[in-house]
Amino acid sequence: MKRLLVAAVVAAVGSPAWGAPPPTSGADLYKKNCASCHGADGKGGSAPAIAGKLPGDVAKVVTAHPPPMSKIELSADDTAAIARYVGSLKKK
């Protein structure tokens, strides 16, 4: 058990994720909460493409979550971070 713990710590420190942007960046939040429906790069999947949409519009949709989009629990900060990220994505 102890050896497993040491291995985990070594793996965490040695992993390339070390020094990467904080886990609450817009990109990570998007991947976790939105990519399953809107696609990894916002170009659409089971839901319409949203890449390049105005951040204000994206935030409004996330807050209002019109059906069939499900309610997604996000803080105002996280919503803003996702909205900025979606707005920065290139359209097709």
Applying CB under 6 A, which residues contact ligand HEC? Answer: 33-34, 36-38, 47-48, 50, 53, 58, 61-62, 66, 68-70, 72, 82, 86
Identify the residue whose tokens are 């040491």: 6
- Nearest residue (CB) to ligand HEC, 15 versus 75: 75
Does the bond joining 68 to the residue before it have cis omega, within 30 degrees of 0? yes
State the alpha helices, DSSP H only, in 1-92.
2-14, 26-33, 35-38, 55-64, 76-88
Shortest Cβ 20–ligand HEC spacing (Å): 21
Q: Which residue is nearest to ligand HEC (CB)?
A: 34
